[in-house]
Structure 1
Amino acid sequence: MKHLFLTLATITTLLLLLSTPPTTTAANAADNIVYDVIGEPLQAGQAYYMVPYDYSDVGGGGLTWLQKTKVTCAPYYVSQENVNTNFGQKIAFYPQTPGQTDITLSSILNIVFSSFTPPINCPGTSNVWSVAADPATRLNFIELRGSRGTRDLRTWFTIEDVDQGGYKISYCPRNRRVDCGSLGIVSRDFGRWLGVNGTNPLTFVFESEEFFLNKALGTKSYAA
């Protein structure tokens, strides 16, 4: 009889544990999701405009691609539009983890310009962001020469939360051959270039295509 009561008690305890909803786990998972400006989870492979959280802090607009020289097949670099009324080009995120649909904080991912078509006569050029060291300046800029889904550590970034609002893009390869840091703007060579440990670290928000079009048409208010 004693063993019977112990068995019944054990079964009751297990049933209680199984029936208790994992609220803490669910809340933690929700806290790790990256959201766009209207509170929707950022989706892998979907196009977004990545724009400054506070335009008044940086003076520029969204992100685009640009060559530093007019030499044929010169590398394309990620740069910031000079005026804040230009929201730049569409960007998509692809997590390293297969099957991941929601973009989460600190998850390793590739970043691509979804509307950039590499010139067919320029091998190596792609739409994937990659960190490239500049020996002349000893700075690390973001160029378009990566491959999505490879083991190339130069192409893997993370999105991190910022206490004051918005998000930052971080780069910290495991081999630590370059300095870890957030992406920011480096103003030089007649341009505003995106680089690691930039002189002006940049805080971003993400706007979906639908939201961007509604904002442009004035049919929805902008509330970052």
Structure 2
Amino acid sequence: MLAIFPLVVLLLALTGRARSATDQVLDVDGNPVRAGIGYYILPAHSSRSGGLTSLSRSGSCPFNVVQADSGLDQGTQLTFAPATGKKEVRLVTDLNIEFLSVNHCGSSAVWKYAGVDEATGQRFITLGGTAGNPGPATVSNWFKIEKEGDHYALVFCPTVCESCRVVCGNVGIYSENGSQFLALSDPAFPVKFRKA
């Protein structure tokens, strides 16, 4: 009976380690996605359109997050910053997403949920968010990555503020004037991550 106890402890330890490894977000090469490193977010399935970048809907600020028109365009490099401060990006963890080498309107390139657009009723993802400082003042700047079958999906449903009431939603695509804008909608836009 005593010989079984160490075996049970070993099995529980291995099971726990396997479970924690499965919630890592992986890039297209099967490597863990890491904070502070440049990546491209690309459509998970073959598409005529490319990766994610930024564009102004109105010709002025703020700039929106959009899918590039050409499938040959990987989009703009971006980085992830989990609220936990850890280096590995994990599923269903609050994180900031920020385009690298982008400076529109003198504001940040951190993604944020912009609320409901009165003209269209859409809930767009724009730039101009605040990096870090999880809490009520930055609640609109936190996104999550979820696993959807063989691909990933981006979700807005921050938990960095327990007292805040947020509208959760999948990050999908809204087509307008030939451009593919990211907005909270169903279905979620299936994505994958490629290290820059």
- Give the Cα separation in 2 of the matches to 1:18 and 1:177: 42
Contact 1:162 1:168 in 2 (8 A): yes
- Aligned ranges for residues 47-196 of structure 1 at < 5 Å? 47-56=38-47, 59-71=48-60, 74-98=61-85, 100-120=86-106, 125-133=107-115, 134-150=117-133, 151=135, 152-163=138-149, 165-173=150-158, 175-178=164-167, 180-196=168-184
- Cα deviation for residue 143 of structure 1 reads 0.6
- Give the Cα separation in 2 of the matches to 1:153 and 1:115: 24
RMSD of aligned alpha carbons: 2.3
Who is 2:30 aligned against? 39
- Give the Cα separation in 2 of the matches to 1:118 and 1:20: 53
Against the structure 1 CA distance between its residues 16 and 201, is the aligned structure 2 distance closer, same or farther, given a 3 Å change threshold? closer
- Give the Cα separation in 1 of the matches to 2:89 and 2:166: 26
- Give the Cα separation in 2 of the matches to 1:97 and 1:177: 20
Structure 1, unpaired ranges of 5+ = 1-8, 210-224
Letter in 2 for 1:136: A
Structure 2, unpaired ranges of 5+ = none
Once the two structures are aligned, what percentage of the paired residues are identical?
33
Who is 1:16 aligned against? 6
1:28 aligns with 2:54: no
Contact 1:55 1:61 in 2 (8 A): no
Contact 2:147 2:153 in 1 (8 A): yes
Deviation above 4 Å: which 4+ runs of structure 1?
Answer: none
Letter in 2 for 1:160: E
- Give the structure with the higher percent helix: 1
Q: Give the number of aligned pairs.
A: 187
| SS class of match (1:20) | helix
- Give the Cα separation in 2 of the matches to 1:18 and 1:96: 34
Q: TM-score, normalised by structure 2?
A: 0.86
